[in-house]
Amino acid sequence: MSSTPLLLPTTRVLSLHDIAVDLDGHPALRGVDAEVHAGRLLAVVGANGSGKSTLLAVAAGLASPDRGTVERRAGIRVALVPQSTPLAPHLPLSVTDIVTMGTWGRLGAWRPSRRSDRDLVRDAIATVGLTDLARRQIGTLSGGQRQRALLAQALVQRADLVLLDEPMAGLDSHSRAVIAATIAHLTATGSGVVAVTHDVSEFTAVDDVLELQDGRVLRRS
Ligand SMILES: Nc1ncnc2c1ncn2[C@@H]1O[C@H](COP(=O)(O)OP(=O)(O)OP(=O)(O)O)[C@@H](O)[C@H]1O
Ligand SMILES: [Mg+2]
């Protein structure tokens, strides 16, 4: 994959200020501040129900906060790999098809893909170790293989901000190592990455940690 940095490491790609979110009357987030910088990995930790996925939804623009401000750097591309992705088991799409979809944001879905795009897709599939399964129907993959395919889709988007919700949950040590290396690749090439986890040590290098408890920031380091 290209290793040209997207943005300078000091560039702030996302800034959340005093975010509050109510979900059906439940205070999912309260007064949360967070910043994401290009080339840095922010790990978001906290118990079940502490608001981690809600924070990613706000960061991705999928949920509007009831209070507070979300500033995304103008013109950035955002990629999100949700915690559990409902993919129809009989969806007639291969790993290559799913990853190719990641290029659509830059190409437009109706423009024929170029050789360079196909190379990008092939390289991303290789990066997550799925070359042998590139033609397999997505619904037949194991959970770990599927997470890696979705990560490859995020890779080809060359997103400035990559949001990963428990990317290693339930995966074996090989898949975890592949994903840790892929995240390191993302930050090395200038993406700002936010990864939700229950175990910060599973990442190769964490730059910042944000710990949530009951929707509030308990600790940052
Ligand atoms: N639609 C909803 N209505 C009411 N409460 C909700 C709704 N969605 C989420 N919540 C609550 O909001 C809180 C935060 O949920 P969230 O999914 O962000 O937690 P999380 O930290 O990602 O948890 P987990 O580690 O289990 O994934 C939880 O208490 C959850 O029960
Ligand atoms: Mg969650």
Specify the pLDDT at position 49: 95
Q: What residue owns the CA closest to ligand 1's atom 18?
A: 51
- Mean per-residue pLDDT, 35-44: 96
The answer to whether residues 38 and 13 touch, using CB atoms and an 8 Å cutoff, is yes
Which residue among 48, 56, 62, 214 is best mutated to probe the pocket of ligand 1, counting the most ligand atoms within 8 A of its Cβ? 48
Q: Please tell me if the CB atom of residue 103 comes closer than 6 angstroms to any atom of ligand 1.
A: no
2 located within any domain: no
3 located within any domain: no
**Measured in angstroms, how far is the CA atom of residue 64 from the centroid of ligand 1?**
15
Specify the pLDDT at position 111: 61
pLDDT at residue 47 above 90?
yes
> Which of ligand 1's atoms lies nearest the C-alpha of 51?
18
41 located within any domain: yes
Q: Please tell me if the CB atom of residue 50 comes closer than 6 angstroms to any atom of ligand 1.
A: yes
181 located within any domain: yes
pLDDT at residue 85 above 90?
no
Q: Indicate the number of domains in the chain.
A: 1
1 located within any domain: no
132 located within any domain: yes
Q: Please tell me if the CB atom of residue 169 comes closer than 6 angstroms to any atom of ligand 1.
A: no
Which residue among 50, 55, 198 is best mutated to probe the pocket of ligand 1, counting the most ligand atoms within 8 A of its Cβ? 50
Angle (CA) 98 104 107, round 5°: 145
Angle (CA) 132 180 148, round 5°: 35
Tokens of 194: 């936010």
Structural domain that includes position 143 = 12-220
- Average pLDDT along the chain: 89
Q: What residue owns the CA closest to ligand 1's atom 12?
A: 28
CATH number at residue 71: 3.40.50.300
- The tally of CA atoms less than 13 A away on the side-chain side of residue 206 is 18
For 3-33, b/e burial (b = at least 16 CB within 10 A) is eeebbeeebebbebeebbbeeeeeebbbebe
The answer to whether residues 207 and 40 touch, using CB atoms and an 8 Å cutoff, is yes
7 located within any domain: no
**Measured in angstroms, how far is the CA atom of residue 153 from the centroid of ligand 1?**
26
The length of the chain in residues reads 221
User: Tell me: the pLDDT tens digits for 88-132?
Assistant: 667 789 999 999 988 876 655 556 667 788 999 999 999 899 999
> Which of ligand 1's atoms lies nearest the C-alpha of 57?
18
What's the whole-model pTM score? Answer: 0.89
Specify the pLDDT at position 139: 87
Distance CA 103, CA 134 (A): 16
| Residue 26: strand pairing partners | 23
Band the pLDDT of 2: cuts 50, 70, 90: very low
pLDDT at residue 86 above 70?
no
